[in-house]
Structures are given as C-alpha cells and as structure tokens.
Amino acid sequence: MAYQNDQELDEILERAAGSALKTLNGMYGDVQQGLQDLYRRAEIASRSATVTEHVPVTTAAR
C-alpha cells in the first residue's frame, strides 16, 4: 500500500488535485471570458442597487 502514512496519502491527494486542476483548466481556463461575465454581473448588480436605492424616495414622495 502506498498510503500507509500521512505523507504518502497527502501525495496521492495532491496528485489527484493537480490532475483535476489540469482538467478544469482546460474547461474554465479562458480568463477573458470569465472577466467579461464578471463585468456583466457587476452591471446587473449595479442596476439592482440603483433600483433599491430609489424605492424609499418614491415611497416618501407619495
């Protein structure tokens, strides 16, 4: 058995994590696409915040 002590077990876990990272990097490694999605989300969040801010003003004006 190659996993009798903690160090050997940790090495197995690290190898698996490295391999998983490689696979996930192939799927999600496009940084520019990710950032564009983030800008879009930020704009949506920004608009929602604006709407929320205006609600009490409208209510107060009635």
Partner 1 sequence: MVQGTFQSPFYASFEAFYAEDRVRLINFLVAFGAPHADAEDIVQEAMLSAALNWETASINPRPYVRTAVKRIYLRRKGQDQNRAWAEQQHLDAGNTTALFDEDTRHIYDIVRALPEAQREVIAWTIDGYKPAEIAEFTERAVDTMYALRRTARQAIRDKLVEQEPEEGRS
The C-alpha R_g of the chain, in whole angstroms, comes to 24
Distances from the Cα of 51 to the Cα of 19, 45, 46, 57, 58, angstroms:
45, 10, 9, 10, 10
Does 48 bind partner 1 (CB under 8 A)? Our answer is no
Site for partner 1 in 2-31 (CB under 8 A): 3-4, 6, 9-10, 12-17, 19-21, 23-25, 27-29, 31
- C-beta of 41 vs 54, nearer to partner 1: 41
CB 12 within 8 A of CB 2: yes
| Residues near partner 1 (CB under 8 A) | 1, 3-4, 6, 9-10, 12-17, 19-21, 23-25, 27-29, 31, 34-35, 37-39, 41-43, 45-46
